[in-house]
Amino acid sequence: MRVGEIVAILEAIAPTRFAEPWDNVGLLVGDPDAPVSRVLLTIDCTDAVAQEARTRGAEMIVAYHPLIFQPLKRVTPGLVFSAVRDHIAIYSPHTALDVAPGGTNDVLADVIGLVDRVPLREVAVPAPHAFGMGRVGAVAPASREALIARIKAGLGLSHVLVAGPMAGSARRVAVCAGACGDLYRDAIAAGADLYLTGEIRHHDALAAAAAGMTVVCALHSNSERVALGALERTLREKLTVTVERSTADRDPFSIV
């Protein structure tokens, strides 16, 4: 396959026109006509991931977070320079995948067992109802402690950060992967008993707790990484090239 053919499939999975206006999604590095035999999936395109791509012979990296956010004034030795030199294409879906049906936030909602879900906040551009930031919906009545344990098991984490009440049952839950702490007001307005996200500011956590809502923070990329498995399965079905998950990709924070 060629880079452009893979880009078209990624665009169909998560249309970039629904990404947040500030985001930089799509093909960031590479020639659409270049051939591809192996694709490497990652959250971040770090030096370690780039080296892994070279070692594995991957001609394309699908990195959830954009490698390039701001316009470049020069290209000197570094990740972008090396990708161009080594003919490695880099594509980022980021918030386009977040809002897409079956994307990041739907996978996160699956972890907690969310049903009758709707977007927590609609996207800025006109879109079908399924598109939107975050998800909110019902769960089978469970204690907040049980839901927190479910989150940890589903994300493969030994620890999470929790603000607000630990006791009591929850019937309605909101989720939004990544840095979605500022959506806590949306979660409260939607009647959520518990809100799962990647990170939230100190004073926003205090405000959410004061409103009686439990906030669970998994750390930024820990709340997103679970979606790579679903994306990997979809791409393996649709592509005629090898699709692999990075083993070098990890959240920058460790529990010590």
Residue pair 148/162 in contact (Cβ under 8 Å)? The answer is: yes
Output the pLDDT for position 125: 64
User: Looking at residues 11-22, what average pLDDT do you find?
Assistant: 94
Can you give the pLDDT at residue 254? Answer: 85
Q: Minimal CA–CA distance to 65: which of 176, 179, 152? A: 179
DSSP lists the bridge partners of residue 194 as: 173, 214
For the segment 131-154, the average pLDDT, to the nearest whole number, is 96
- Give the pLDDT score at 91: 98
C-alpha closest to that of 215 among 162, 146, 138: 162
Q: What is the mean pLDDT of residues 186-204?
A: 97
Which pLDDT belongs to residue 128?
Answer: 59
pLDDT in tens, 36-81: 999 999 999 999 999 999 999 999 999 999 999 988 999 999 999 9
Q: How far is CA 169 from CA 2, 48, 120, 148, 233, in A?
A: 51, 43, 21, 11, 34
pLDDT of res. 127: 59
Determine the Cα–Cα distance for residues 189 and 193; give it in Å rounded to an integer: 11
DSSP state of 18: G
* Residue from 18, 29, 211 nearest 100 by CA: 18
Token pair, residue 211, equals 């409103």
CATH of 98-223 given 3.40.1390.30, 3.40.50.2300, 3.40.190.10, 3.30.200.20? 3.40.1390.30
Q: What's this model's pTM, rounded to 2 decimal places?
A: 0.93
- pLDDT tens-digit profile of 229-253? 999 999 999 999 999 999 999 999 9
Minimal CA–CA distance to 46: which of 93, 82, 10? 82
Superfamily for the 3-94+225-245 domain: NIF3 (NGG1p interacting factor 3)-like (3.40.1390.30)
Domains 3-94+225-245 and 98-223 share a fold: yes
Asked if residue 195 has pLDDT above 70, the reply is: yes
The per-residue pLDDT for 99 is 94
Mean pLDDT of the chain: 95
Least confident piece of the model among 34-43, 70-79, 101-110, 210-219: 70-79
Q: What pLDDT is attached to residue 58?
A: 98
Domain ranges of the chain: 3-94+225-245, 98-223
Q: What is the pLDDT of residues 143-166, one digit of tens each?
A: 999 999 999 999 999 999 999 999
